[in-house]
Amino acid sequence: METDSSFTFVLFGGTGDLSMRKILPALFEAHRAGGMLADSGKIVAVARHAADRGEYIQWVNEHVKPHVSKNGVDETAWSSFLERIEFVKIDLGNPEDFALLRDAVKDLPGIRVFYLATGPSLFVPICRALASVGLNENARIVLEKPLGYDLKSSNAINDAVGEIFAEEQIYRIDHYLGKEPVQNLLALRFGNALFEPLWRREWVESIQITIAEELGVEARGDFYDNTGALRDMVQNHLLQLLSIVAMEPPHSMDSDSVRDEKLRVLRALKPIDPLNIGKVAVRGQYHSGVIRGTAVPAYATEPGVKPNSTTETFVALKVEIENWRWAGVPFFLRTGKRLADRVAEIVVNFRAVPHSALGVSALRAGANRLVIRLQPNETIRLYCLAKQPGEGMNLASVHLDLAFDQFFREGQMEAYQRLLLDVINGRLALFVRRDEQEAAWRWVEPILNEWKASNKPPKPYAAGTWGPAAASAMLAQHGTCWLEEEN
């Protein structure tokens, strides 16, 4: 992927955690690869925690360098990368300071990209300040999640930003859409005649999508306690993954064709009946436990968390899609903190054969399934049944494994690297359109409202387990269980 597109990449929150761990390392990897970033491209960091460029470069060396390149840092590439970086000290609360930014970028080349790696409360003030000095014209704006607290606040941000930037200028980022296995899911479905005929209710029994974390809330207790797992993970990441799994084949891979099909899935989600919510939605909160031999505290004792907090750290949902392809197929979504393993995966469980001519061993061995793992190791694995060696027709589950790091020897592109290159090159397909976001909020909000109105506490689960027992019971009612394998 080579480009000669010149750019000026303005990074708000230039000394923040996201810039340190993801954005600047991703830009460095694109720079190091050669040909991905135009030689004339510049990075302008905006922050108020450094006095000048020299102090900021020192911060980058100390804090960003440890997060780049797993195989060590090419010092020549690192030095030339630092030459791309400029710095502007701005107090984001003072719109008059944006004249300094205007003057700093006026002679820099190419398309202007403004990346808002800040809290959502600053999105609108920054956009208005950019417009006040004319920096919104012919520019692109990248908005990080969370974009609002509910449908009303999300619409308020989108309305305000939409008055300053046109929809085609706005890039709402969801880094899961940039992951290599998600891209390969599209290739698997729409590039092969083998799977697409089976990708429907006649052949699929159920689908699971899991994003599990071993970590707790870390230093984000105050933020997380006002957010919760449903807002933090389900409304965006999980529903985006679901829409890609369930979408119809797009006309092409251009931005609107892909996003139109995802939108149709989100609009076809069966609304949650408040009277039935206990059967299709499980919320939990971790208590103290042990993860990999280390004792970890309960959520309620984490710094920044209210002692009697009822914020959920775990969510499991049964979701149905009311359309011709998926009617009657349950989609089970699950996410949580302090779970037994760090894993993100999609599991497609196919129906069993209608009649087993091979005897009871075929039934015991189970049906076929496809497991698409997003993290920690990125693989696609197809489970089939095969005869065990020896006497008799005894079947066992075996698998065909596509391990990307073994099959493709060249280094894989990280999600943020792909998405940042897409912004610079004007490709919108992997970014969330406003109507998608609204549809997701519209489906999630009744669950939030019902949980708030019921005032029931989340179900407890010990840290280091797979969540409340009720999440497993929900699947047991459908004759299935969560796939919980070792990495």
Q: Which residues form the catalytic set?
A: 237
Per-residue buried b or exposed e for 88-111, using 16+ beta carbons within 10 Å of the residue's own CB: bbbebeebebbeebeebbeebebb
* Crossing angle of helices 255-267 and 434-454, rounded to 10°: 30
| CA-based nearest residue to 266, from 322, 219, 208 | 322
* 384 CB-near residues (< 8 Å, 6+ apart): 368, 397, 398, 399, 400
Which amino acid is present at 451?
Answer: W
The H or E element spanning position 27 is helix 24-33
Strand residues in 48-194 grouped as ranges (E)? 85-89, 111-116, 139-143, 170-172
Q: Are strands 331-336 and 204-212 parallel, antiparallel or unpaired?
A: parallel
Alpha-carbon distances of 470 from 283, 461, 477, rounded to whole Å: 9, 10, 11
Burial of 72 from C-beta contacts in 10 A (0-12 / 13-18 / 19+): exposed
First and final C-alpha spacing in the chain:
31
Strand segments, DSSP code E, in 320-378 are 331-336, 343-350, 369-375
Angle (nearest 5°) at CA 43 between 42 and 44 = 115
What is the chain's percent helix, strand, coil content, to nearest 5? Answer: 40, 20, 40
d(C-alpha 233, C-alpha 335), whole Å:
7
Residue 357, token pair as written in the block = 């001519």
Q: What angle do CA 266, 271, 276 make, to 5 degrees?
A: 145
The Cα 149–Cα 225 span in angstroms is: 12
Count the neighbouring beta carbons within 10 Å of the beta carbon of residue 301: 11
